[in-house]
Amino acid sequence: MVLSAADKSNVKAAFGKIGGHAEEYGAETLERMFAAYPQTKTYFPHFDLAKGSAQVKGHGKKVAAALVEAANHIDDISGALSKLSDLHAQKLRVDPVNFKLLGQCFLVVVATHNPALLTPEVHASLDKFLCAVGTVLTAKYR
């Protein structure tokens, strides 16, 4: 799956509009993921996952920052996320199916906060982008 010029432009514009809310979106994405897909909580036995958890907020911030970084270096996502890719392969080893679940929840967060932003074309581009990020993060798994 290849990101077209239009996809890249859509993704950059979308993250531009999301702007300073990215951290908040990251936290809410995780909150939704833990609620809708409880099996994802198995990766966070060391976290307080109660609503409003500072750890979830902090982690959401990290996740959002990585997405923003990928969007800002959309021509070379694997370069931009190389260290994160190593981390996921060597230490975190999150099963690949979970990236799709995170992606779904991120799109829902965008939809709930900014429905006008999520036109069908932008939806398609963001979905592709999130897939690409997941692919990069699992690329070194084996």
Partner 1 sequence: MVHWTAEEKQLIASVWGKVSVEECGAEALARLLIVYPWTQRFFSDFGNLSSPTAIIGNPKVRAHGKKVLTSFGDAIKNLENLKVTYSKLSELHCDKLHVDPENFRLLGDILIIVLAAHFTKDFTPACQATWQKLVGVVAHALAHKYH
> Do 57 and 27 contact (CB within 8 A), yes or no?
yes
Count residues near partner 1 (CB under 8 A): 20
x-or-dash string of contact with partner 1, 89-128, rule CB under 8 A: ---------------xx-xx--xxx-x--x-xx-xx--x-
Instruction: State in angstroms the smallest separation of the CB of 128 from partner 1.
Output: 8
Burial tier of 13 (Cβ tally within 10 Å: 0-12, 13-18, 19+): middle
Of 89 and 118, which CB lies nearer to partner 1 in the complex structure? 118
Q: Binders of partner 1 among 25-84, rule CB under 8 A?
A: 28, 31-32, 35-37
Helix residue ranges per DSSP H, the chain:
5-18, 22-36, 54-72, 77-80, 82-87, 97-113, 120-138
Cα–Cα distance, 114 to 17 (Å, whole number) = 9
> For residue 104, which phi and psi values (nearest 5 degrees)?
-60, -45
Instruction: State in angstroms the smallest separation of the CB of 138 from partner 1.
Output: 19
Binding site for partner 1 (CB under 8 A): 28, 31-32, 35-37, 104-105, 107-108, 111-113, 115, 118, 120-121, 123-124, 127
